[in-house]
Structure 1
């Protein structure tokens, strides 16, 4: 079901030509900074993978992948990727990437089950990245260090946008805050996860919520996460589980939090088996990706995705992701958005 937020008094700061120029500069500048901060090299990514290998991202486990038969493979089914969370780890192994270095790529996906709105589109574009790490760095302190490096690239990019378009004043704080999903629950016990995210993002401006996918003290998860890439069950700080999280900023245009990145330390052999049991998905252990991990053929890694259109939307102060990317929208949403000053591409 689609849902449209209509910002009161919204007027785009940039026209269409300026917007396109801004998108180009942001994408070029940010990926160079991300590559330098994390020591990543660019690789080419697939748009689709074979079904049944366990390589595609299962997201929350309910989203349907877009599939099609391949004539020359006896109509074997391929799936359009949801993201490249597991493919990247296979690539680290195949490219024999050294410890402390990694890869990034332009990921383009189709998520046909998305609930369309200001922040959600059928078309997903993000920088997917993955970096080889040491066993002794599988802890929250290392996770925070990587988050701070990514956030530093975001802050620099916002200033670059300000130099291009002085009307767009920087609003990101210089430092990002951290909070565990359980601590967030205790702070706002009567709020929904989304309301908690809005409250903490508005308070800090930029925040990283740790522990996405594990059950909290109320018996619920802050949000869903597949059991076979991020490690959300290993104990981290203060006896709280989770070596992953989401990076949020406060969006002044929409008056709500905006998730720009989802990332985490990836499962090792023990965490994979544990999380498959917790999720009732033990049958996945026999799939190609999972077998390679269980046979210790894949490096330990940390990785994530950073939304390209969302990042551009935030920097250029847009009210709808459809002002940044071309996609398909319901006719009524397109008309309502136009009347609200948000013409969709």
Structure 2
């Protein structure tokens, strides 16, 4: 069910033309910085993939992909991508990209089961990136290093926005705070996962929550993850499980935590089998992607996605993602958003 947050005394700081200019400048500047920080080359990505190959991202395992039949291929079924988590790793292998280098692309997706609101849309646009890594770097230290480099690009981009629009001063802290999801649970044992995120993001401004997908001490994961891309099983040196996480910032307009990126060190063959077994999806090991990984044909990698519209929404202090991107919204939401000063594109 859709839900609209109406920020108190909300007033857009930029008009429509300024907003469009800001979106372009943010996207151009950030992707150049991301490419430089992680040594990524841009590649062209698919909007859809063949069904039954295991290439599409299953997200939490319950979302249905939009699909259609291909007339000129005997009615074979194609699926609109949810994300490119596994496609990118296949591409790293097929392109023969060297260790320490990677790729990024503009990912556009349709998520028909999304609960619509200020932060969630049917249309998803993000920078998907993936980098070849060494086996010795499958550890928490390396994960944090990559997060810090991405966050540095975010901080620089925020200052660019301030130079363009002096009415929008920077608010991101100079450094991001790291915390494991189990530590977060122990700190706020009586709160839900989203309430815990709100508390920690409000306290620090920007935070990376480590360990998403594996069960915590309360028997539940902090959030869901498909078992076949992020490694949420391997124990790090602090004793906690998980070599992945979510990057969140405090959104002062909505007064809540806002996820900007999800990323992690990817599964190797051993971890893939373990996570498929844990999640009851062992039959997936026979699919195309999984067979290539198990046969040693794909490189070890780290990767993730960074929301383009969300990033722009945060930088430009917008109250609704529909002020950044064109999508479909319930008419009631459109009407209420208009009255609240948030006209949706």
Band of TM-score, shorter chain: over 0.9
What do you get for the CA RMSD once the two structures are aligned?
0.3
Give TM-score scaled by structure 1 length: 1.00
Equivalence for 1:140 = 140
Distance in 2 (CA, whole Å) between partners of 1:48 and 1:238 is: 40
Residue aligning to 1:30: 30
How far off its partner does 1:319 sit?
0.2
Residue 35 of structure 1: SS of its match in structure 2? helix
Q: Distance in 2 between the 1:88 and 1:343 partners? A: 36
Deviations 1:78-97 (A, max 9, x none): 00000000000000000000
| Structure 1 segments of 4+ aligned residues over 4 angstroms from their partners | none
Alignment of 1:1-345 (within 5 A): 1-345=1-345
Once residues 189 and 26 of structure 1 are traced to their aligned partners in structure 2, the CA distance between those partners, rounded to angstroms, is 38
CA distance in 2, matches of 1:101, 1:29: 20
**2:238 and 2:51 mapped to 1: Cα distance?**
40
- Paired with 2:218 and 2:81, the residues of 1 have a C-alpha distance of 33
1:237 Cα deviation from its structure 2 partner = 3.2
In the aligned structure 1, how far is the partner of 2:220 from the partner of 2:89?
A: 29
- Tell me the secondary structure at the aligned position of residue 86 of structure 1: helix
Unaligned runs of 5+ in 2: none
Q: Secondary structure at the match of 1:232?
A: coil
Paired with 1:195 and 1:243, the residues of 2 have a C-alpha distance of 23
Query: What is the CA deviation profile of residues 91-112 of structure 1, one whole-angstrom value per residue up to 9, with x for unaligned ones?
Result: 0000000000000000000000
**Secondary structure of the structure 2 residue equivalent to 1:21:** helix
Normalised TM-score (structure 2): 1.00
1:239, distance to aligned residue in structure 2 (A) = 1.0
Number of matched residues? 345
Secondary structure at the counterpart of residue 108 of structure 2: strand
Matched position secondary structure for 1:253: coil
Separation of aligned partners in 2, 1:168 and 1:95: 41
